[in-house]
Structure 1
Amino acid sequence: MGTNNVEGHIQNALFIISSGTNDLAANYFFSPVRRSQYSVAEYQNFMLQNAKRFVQGLLDLGARKIAIIGLPPIGCSPSLLALNYQHECIETYSIPAKQFNQILQEELKAMQNANPGVLLTYADMYEPLQGIIKNYKESGYVESSRGCCGTKIPETSYLCTHLTPVCPDRSKYIFWDAVHPTERVYQYLFTTLRKSSKGCCGT
């Protein structure tokens, strides 16, 4: 392809970054070792510095358009609800995610000011997803606290097999498994992102 062509592709490409959910939900809240090493605020800063280094690495490679997706309301995920025997969102888990999103936005603004020739866009997943979950019936869904693939045990990824019960209509569920939203929800989230993020994702 050649160095010049590669650089051109990098400069014209849109990089979409989605990370941090597992870091906070699994690696922190379910890890006594992590919790003994970091307070919530310290771990949020640890995640922020990792995200900052990753974004800076893309900028150093020549990236000019980067969209960073914030954390979802992780206390609403079927996995955490099942493990805590709950049916409604658990704020103890969701609030730290929302706090991280706030400091992430502040850091992105600082990086944007330091790099006027690039576009750094924050993509909010928290509010749109929480809105669907809290008003799921009005949004045309029949279930918000468990995944289409599952038995109330936290199935996800390879744990959803041909032996695992699956709902008859996944479009009526917010979550496909215990962690990941369904295609219908992702389509809604991306449409919301395009409308709210100026200069991003084809707008």
Structure 2
Amino acid sequence: MELFPLYLSVKLALVTTVLLMIMAAPVAYVLAYSEFFGKSFLEALVSLPLALPPTVLGFYLLIFMGPKGGFGRLWEKLTGSSLLFTFSAIVIASLVYSLPFAVQPMRAAFQKIDQKLLENAYVLGLSRTAAFFRVILPNTMGGLAASAILVFVHTMGEFGVLLMVGGSVPGQTKVASIAIYEAVEALNYHEAGIMCMTLIPISYAFLLLINWLNRRS
């Protein structure tokens, strides 16, 4: 069995998870504690990847990151190379596609915080930023961990979006899901089956961990 696609999937999932934990936290905080005009539009925008077929999302990302797209042109100007069909491209696609899987559990965890804790923190003179790091984060670690695991598992299983923007470049964008697809296309069911049986227990173990964390919280 070819192991590099599996390694690439794990690498992609780890990078996506770390970046999304940083990017999604302020979005989840705003949605949990703020009221403002257009909040419902932001909520819908964050959740949009859940409603769109992966190929639709992948198509627009393909245009956006292509040589004629704004971001693609900027990337090429800064780096001197094309963005499409690179590891960076599938990372960006994964960030967009997995965003709701990070934001929604975080938001739910933030909203479970006892408001009296926050009020006491503000009375004691803590700023919103200080309260976030000293009160909210320590009391939502279970929810944050569940969010991270959910993003990791979801990224491990991504296919359509990654195929649209990354293709199947060995060592760069050929992740496990794409390798399985190609093995099936080549009627190599043995290799496809082995890779599937490798992914199933990994995903199942992470889902069990999420359930355990949810029960604890």
Which structure has the larger Rg over C-alpha atoms? 2
TM-score by length of 2: 0.31
Higher relative contact order (CA 8 A, sep 6+): 2
Of Structure 1 and Structure 2, the greater strand share is in 1
